[in-house]
Amino acid sequence: MINQEAHKLTREPNEVEILVAQSLRFGVLLSAAVILVGLVLFLFSGEGGYPGESYPTQLKDIFAGALSLKPFAIILAGLVLLICTPIMRVGISVLVFLKEKDWLYVGISSVVFLILISGFFFGK
Amino acid sequence: MTIIAIKILLVSISAGILGSILGLGGGIIVTPALTLLFGVDIQHAIGASLISVISTSSGAAIAYIRDGITNIRVGMFLEIATTVGAITGALIAGLISPNLLYIIFGLLLFYSALAMLKKKKEELPGEVPLHSVASKLKLQGEYYDKALKKNVTYNVDNVYGGFSVMYGAGVISGLLGIGSGSFKVMAMDVFMKLPLKVSSATSNFMMGVTGAASAGIYLFRGDINPIISAPVAIGVLIGATIGAKIMQRLKSKTIRKLFIPVLMYVAIQMMAQGLGVKLW
């Protein structure tokens, strides 16, 4: 493995790749950490913070619950962050292509971003 | 409770490994495992499998992009088809009976499994013509293959065919709330003739977006249960990170040998569902 790295045969990742990978890493680590905190809290206390097996399903209840440290709400907040990670990745791609003046791909990634956002409204 | 969480975590790690190697979401493991082994009802299992799709995608993509396997341009371009498809699927979900679609898509998958079987001795696609649209979109690329220890440059063919299958993949995702990775890999491997590793990594990359497009709906509906989804998310993220390392060192031939039976299984399952036969 060290041998391969030393050969430097791998092509260097370009700026788009570096920034997209970094944004995904940020999203994944942040959401995993939040989910883990919620899960550990729940397993130790045995309480989800809500009556019975119930849990919040609306964004404002989830974030309000997470701020008052209810384990289920913390987990769900982490899951919301996880769901948002790929969407954020598309948004970041628009910016990176813009910076690279790659207009064709600015257009393509903007279209994807707009469709994704409109999908959220169709869902409601 | 802790024991169950650990068990779900372990199952999810294996789902993440297999999903990231094959370019699938891991839903084919997570959904049956949760319903059969842990007695989770189907709604919550599907919600958790959606979380698994997004986790596999984001977790594996970090390594695949950094190592230059993922073709971001191909992914972004085809995401137009999958996202429009996903919305179409969500809109027609209530209007038509999905049974016919299950059968059609099941047959399509079966056909692609056979097409893959023909390529089972082939490590790389060989000479592929560069489609004119692909050239305009600068879709061709190269990557360093760690199993072959060499740089692989590749062309992209049949953009229209690939785009259409991707639209179909999106429709299925919207209808069923799955990542439909098997269709994505098929579109790139069988139609556009990309190297299998690039197809798998790019399918992985795209799946998160497809999953995220419908995850909101499932969340608001209460199908994403925190107790089940938390160990799934963590486990799959761990598995996907491991799988993304393993895949690069496997020969494409080996990956294909793993892929074909999985494809056959999904195809048969879809057709059975369309015909109203219960397999498990």
**Residue pLDDT, tens place only, B43-101:** 888 889 889 999 999 999 999 999 999 999 999 999 999 989 988 887 787 677 768 77
- Within the 229-248 window of chain B, which residues sit less than 8 Å (CB to CB) from chain A? 229-231, 233-234, 237
Residue B162, pLDDT above cutoff 60? yes
pLDDT digits (tens, 9 = 90+) for A52-66: 889 999 999 999 999
- The confidence score (pLDDT) of residue B179 equals 67
- The confidence score (pLDDT) of residue A5 equals 44
- Within the 105-144 window of chain B, which residues sit less than 8 Å (CB to CB) from chain A? 137-138, 142-144
CB of B216 less than 8 A from some CB of A: yes
List of chain A residues whose C-beta atoms are within 8 Å of the C-beta of residue B1: 43, 46
Average pLDDT, stretch A83-93? 93
Residues A16, B72: C-beta atoms closer than 8 Å: yes
Q: Residue B2's pLDDT band (boundaries 50, 70, 90)?
A: confident
- The confidence score (pLDDT) of residue B240 equals 96
What are the residues whose beta carbons fall under 8 Å from the beta carbon of B267, sequence distance 6 or more?
Answer: B106, B107, B109, B110, B113
> Is A121 or B236 the better-scoring residue by pLDDT?
B236
Residue A88, pLDDT above cutoff 60? yes
Q: Residue A8's pLDDT band (boundaries 50, 70, 90)?
A: very low
- The confidence score (pLDDT) of residue A2 equals 45
CA distances to A38, B215, B231 from B34, rounded to whole Å, are 21, 18, 12
pLDDT digits (tens, 9 = 90+) for B189-247: 989 999 999 999 999 999 998 888 778 878 888 889 999 999 999 999 999 999 999 99
- Closest-CA distance of chain A to residue B103, Å: 26
User: Which string of DSSP letters, residue by residue, matches B116-160?
Assistant: HHHTTT-SS--S----HHHHHTT--EEEEETTTTEEEEE----HH
Q: In whole angstroms, what is the distance from residue B216 CA to residue B55 CA?
A: 15
Q: Residue A6's pLDDT band (boundaries 50, 70, 90)?
A: very low
- The confidence score (pLDDT) of residue B41 equals 86
- Closest-CA distance of chain A to residue B87, Å: 6
CB of B93 less than 8 A from some CB of A: no
Residues B222, A55: C-beta atoms closer than 8 Å: yes
Identify the bridge partners of residue B144 per DSSP, sorted by sequence position.
B151
Task: Please state, as a whole number, how many other Cβ atoms lie within 10 Å of the Cβ of residue B179.
Answer: 35
How many Å is the maximal CA-CA distance in chain B?
Answer: 57
- Closest-CA distance of chain A to residue B140, Å: 14
- The confidence score (pLDDT) of residue B279 equals 64
Residues A24, B220: C-beta atoms closer than 8 Å: no
Q: In whole angstroms, what is the distance from residue B121 CA to residue B164 CA?
A: 27
